[in-house]
Amino acid sequence: MPYAVAKGGWLSLAALVITAVICVYTALLLVHCMQSNSLIKTYPDIGQLAFGNRGRILIALLINAELYFIVVGMLIIEGDNIDTLFPNVEFYIANLKIRGKQAFIFLTTLLVLPTTWARSLSFISYLSAGFTLIPFMILAIIVWVGASDDIGFHENRQVINWNGFPTSLGIFIFSYACHSVIPIVYSSMNDTSKYSMVLITAFGVSTILNVSLGVIGYMMFGVGTKSMVTLNLPSNYFNSKIVIWIVIVFPLVKYALLLMPVINALEEKLTITGRFKSILLRTTLVISTAIIAMAVPFFEYIITLTGSLLSCVAAIIVPCICYLKIFKSARAGMEVLVITCIIVFGVVIAITGTFVSTKSIIQDH
């Protein structure tokens, strides 16, 4: 968030709030689609209701690709942050020198690999739930670090930076793109009538946290804010080390949980039932995420690309199109106009953000 604000300027905060409102609205559209048919339980089910098997396959590919690149981003997080704590680490494998960020991505991959072999992730699920308050702890500690005389809070005058705006929007959308799990959460609730309130509350709390982190981090480090604000924190501070270690542990817990839907989809598609073949597939998939994480130079590129291309389509464009398709004969003119504007907004972000992030990746290679 601090990096996104630094890239887009202070006015990007308005775009953050607008993005949150749009994503809440499109999430509610998904719920309306579910209410039209009691058999709908998942996001791909909505795609099938709207466009048949092709819609189901497309949405399944979309959300699994999004999850895949999220775990790639997690490995990059590990590499960058551990390298901050332990610089100049290197080792050799078959006369091949691996050092720095790549070395820690490799070691993290070895660490998370066994967690993906398990059939049940209930223990990790409960552990992951315990991390709900972690972002607020991170915010509090960052404020604590910023209050020190060595860093402090400064006035930054960049109101808007149009060149960095696509990057900011891609990150914002990535932060709110939880739409793949919304149907599952909704169908599992005892009292679905309260879902709108739950949804608005969740997005509201997230927005308060995102704005707070963005403002404080940008005031601390200005235009020099890095893709992860932990990389700006002085590593010799005890408080900084606490934040960095929290950020390091978080992906270790989340990695297997996020990759598991992708694994299950592949095993079902390839009809893999044997234990050996299952472990082989899972190992290959994990290694592929490590290779991409080592190849992509910076965390912000993978997040911006994922947010602009995959998250934007899954969270903004597809819910609107499915809703219009399912309720095509019962919608009022003003509602259709609003939804059409949202679709255009999503398409513009998807095109510009994907272009900017792809161009940056190519240039830095």
The per-residue pLDDT for range 296-337, each reduced to its tens digit, is: 767 888 888 888 888 999 999 999 999 999 888 666 688 889
- Minimum mean pLDDT among 195-204, 251-260, 282-291: which range? 251-260
Could you tell me the CATH number of the domain that includes residue 141?
1.20.1740.10
pLDDT value of residue 127: 63
Residue 110, classed as helix, strand or coil, is helix
pLDDT at position 280 is 92
Report pLDDT for 297: 64
**What share of the chain has pLDDT > 70, as a percent?**
94
How far from 355 is each of 65, 248, 299, 358, 361, CA to CA, in Å? 18, 30, 17, 5, 10
pLDDT (tens digit per residue) in 176-197: 988 888 887 888 788 888 888 9
Structure confidence at residue 205 (pLDDT): 92
Q: Is the dihedral of CA 218, 215, 248, 93 positive or negative?
A: negative
pLDDT of residue 159: 87
Q: How many domains does the chain have?
A: 1
- How many CB atoms are closer than 10 A to CB 38? 8
Read off φ and ψ for residue 98, nearest 5 degrees: -120, 125
Q: pLDDT class for 133, splitting at 50, 70, 90? A: confident
Q: Where residue 173 falls among pLDDT bands split at 50, 70, 90? A: very high
Q: Which domain holds residue 236?
A: 2-364
Q: Is the pLDDT of residue 128 over 70?
A: no
Cβ partners under 8 Å of residue 255, min gap 6: 71, 74, 75, 112, 115, 116
Residue corresponding to tokens 């992951």: 128
First to last CA, the chain: 25
Mean per-residue pLDDT over the chain, rounded:
86
Q: Which residues contact 103 (CB under 8 A, 6 or more apart)?
A: 79, 83, 89, 90, 91
- Model confidence at 125, in pLDDT bands (50, 70, 90)? low
Tokens 């940008």 correspond to 218
CA distances from 226 to 3, 36, 233 (A): 6, 45, 10
Residue-level pLDDT at 343: 94
Helix axes 43-85, 275-295, angle to 10 degrees: 60
Angle between helices 165-176 and 195-221 (to 10 degrees): 140
Alpha helical stretches, state H, 270-332? 275-295, 299-305, 312, 318-326
Q: What is the rounded CA–CA span in Å between residue 22 and residue 345? A: 10
